[in-house]
Amino acid sequence: MNKYLILAFCGFSLQLNAQTKQVSFQPQKKGKQVDVIVDGKFFTSFMYPDSLEKPILYPLQTASGLTLTRGFPLNTRDQERTDHPHHVGLWLNYESVNGLDFWNNSYNIPEAKKSKYGWIRAVQLKDVKSGSKKGALSYTANWERQDRKVLLKEKTTFIFSGDEHTRTIDRVTTLTAVKDSVKFKDVKDGMIALRVTKELEMPSSQTAEFTDSQGNRTKVSASGNGANGDYLTSAGKKGNDAWGTRANWCLLAGVKDQQEVSIAIIDHPKNPGYPTYWHARDYGLFAANPLGQQVFSNGKENLNLSLAPGESITFRYRVFISSGEKPKAEVLNQQALQFSKTAI
């Protein structure tokens, strides 16, 4: 077992409502995929096929079996938006790494522009360990240019757990610069993120247009079809007011199939830029971006993180999924406190 996995297990603390369930893994024979099973029920899959520009967790399901992530582009569903094909499942990457755009890369980028984008490739599973109360999966990967030159080495550990009503993912990702210094310019799109099911979108009558770092435009239509989600941060910001503000957690909650469901992302005090800025959009993009300070502060702050060759930085996040009841702020504050004490 590598040292990252050992640290993660040593620092892991159980959810307050206890009664955590068995976690196991099922590698799939076809494709590069490992299914995560909690209490005998499918939770999510770790997917890293060559057809994707980054590894992902997809889909994410509640303890009650409801899917909270958007299906597109892997499995398009009726009445679901098909914008931003790079928004798939739960992922971690960034828009500007030595000028390369890792965030917006997808099959939709014209070949003539591909050299301006980055890939997270050469994914290798290192440890997969089931357990009676938690399970862990670790992998390594390269952040590469199109010509396969490696900018960053990635080491990531996921720790999965759950009980009757909740599912939890703790993600610990260490990035190490290889031969060149690596600069993360302060930009909007990053870092840990997911794209949610249509029910968790916020109701909106507006059609919006977004442009990526290379000038490619994407239109997002007005939401409908049962959209009823809403954001709440630990600082008390709600709805669209959550975007571009700092908080140590953010909750996205709504109702799907007549059941209350929610996803919270929780920041860790050891992360750069803590408490993070929230890149939380009404159309269903839910992201924490600690590195885009100049954008979110309207120029009042800046970070422009840089790594010298051989230097590393670690990002730690908890994703807390609930069903049947919307968690109160006190519950999320306890989750944040608990997570802050983990030795990861």
DSSP conformation letters of 239-254: GGGGTT-B-SEEEEEE
Listed as ranges, residues in the chain with pLDDT below 50 are 1-17
Domain edges within the chain: 3-340
Residue 342: what pLDDT?
Answer: 82
Residue 327: what pLDDT?
Answer: 97
CB 144 within 8 A of CB 150: yes
From first CA to last CA, the distance across the chain in angstroms is: 15
The 3-state DSSP class for residue 119 equals strand
Structure tokens at 234: 């630990």
Residue 7: what pLDDT?
Answer: 36
Sign of CA dihedral 243, 244, 247, 248: positive
Residue 8: what pLDDT?
Answer: 36
244-266 burial, b for 16+ CB within 10 Å, e for fewer? bbbbbbbbbbbebeeeebbbbbb
For domain 3-340, the CATH architecture is: Distorted Sandwich (2.70)
Q: What's the predicted TM-score (pTM) here?
A: 0.90
CB 117 within 8 A of CB 90: no
